[in-house]
Amino acid sequence: MAYAKKAWSLFYERFVELFIMNEKEKAKQILKILNKIYQTTPIPLKHKNIFTLLVSVLLSAQCTDLNVNNVTKNIYPKYNKPEHFVKLGRKKIEKLIKKIGIFRVKAKSIYLMSKKLLDEHNGKVPKTFEELEKLPGVGHKTASVVMSQGFGQPAFAVDTHIHRLAQRWGLTSGKNVIQTEKDLKKIFPKKSWAKLHLQIIYYGREYCKARECYGLTCKICTSCYPNRKKPVKTKKA
């Protein structure tokens, strides 16, 4: 009994090892394709400083980057520090961002976040996940974007688009975005995370769209799964 249990344990460990090796080979192919297409990855959300990057990422929830940029281009030249938004107050912030979805909720978060930054961080955006995620309206994904794009720290922000593509490319079980982040971090080099986050987003918008490729036609899908015949059904985040 003990022998059989040990044998099964060794088999399972070897299976996991081979699975990860296979995933890493696939990851190398994906990186090769993405690096060839996107040698540079400009940050899509326009901002003046790390604080306005934080505000823009918060505003981008359930909203396109283009829409956020169209709204903030009229805000950031004049209002770009926590004290500016605290002085404005919630109602005036609402008026400034009313063209963005769930603007009342976001206006409240921006106001409370700005106030907390002034009260507890001397008006500066904190440089740790722990402190960032304590700010009103800031979750793990928003904190990851700020850490990687704002502070240049290794972080892999996973949104609904990356969650979808990771499933199409067979890199995750797709249980949820938390699991997807863990899976991607295991198979991609840490030094690639920040750039890769943007590369996958750009690729998804251009080549592996939600209502087009379905895991069958784009370069990455056909390279990773040349014999795939049926569309891939992905789980929502």
Task: State the SS3 of 76-95.
Answer: CCCCCCHHHHHHHCHHHHHH
The residue with greater pLDDT, 8 or 13, is 8
Token code pair at residue 49:
């400083």
Cβ neighbours, 10 Å, residue 113: 22
What pLDDT sits at residue 8?
59
Mean pLDDT of 192-199: 96
Distance set, CA 224 to CA 1, 25, 74, 75, 176 (Å) = 40, 10, 44, 44, 22
Residue 63 confidence (pLDDT) above 50 = yes
Residue 1 confidence (pLDDT) above 80 = no
Residues whose CB is less than 8 angstroms from the CB of residue 95 and which lie 6 or more positions away in sequence, other chains included:
none
Mean pLDDT of 29-39: 96
pTM: 0.86
What pLDDT sits at residue 4?
59
What pLDDT sits at residue 18?
40
Contact criterion met (CB below 8 Å) for 56 and 45? yes
What pLDDT sits at residue 173?
83
Nearest alpha carbon to residue 84 among 60, 114, 124 = 114
What pLDDT sits at residue 180?
94
What pLDDT sits at residue 25?
87
Residue 22 confidence (pLDDT) above 90 = no
Query: How many angstroms separate the CA atoms of 18 and 121, rounded?
Result: 47
Query: How many angstroms separate the CA atoms of 229 and 210, rounded?
Result: 18
What pLDDT sits at residue 70?
97
Percentage of the chain modeled with pLDDT above 90 = 78
What pLDDT sits at residue 175?
82
| Highest mean pLDDT out of 3-12, 121-130, 158-167 | 121-130
What pLDDT sits at residue 7?
55
What pLDDT sits at residue 155?
95
Token code pair at residue 196:
């890769």
Each residue of 81-100: pLDDT tens digit? 999 999 999 999 999 999 99
Domains (range + CATH), the chain: 50-150 (1.10.340.30)
Each residue of 142-179: pLDDT tens digit? 999 999 999 999 999 999 889 999 999 999 987 889 99
Label residue 193 by pLDDT band (50, 70, 90): very high
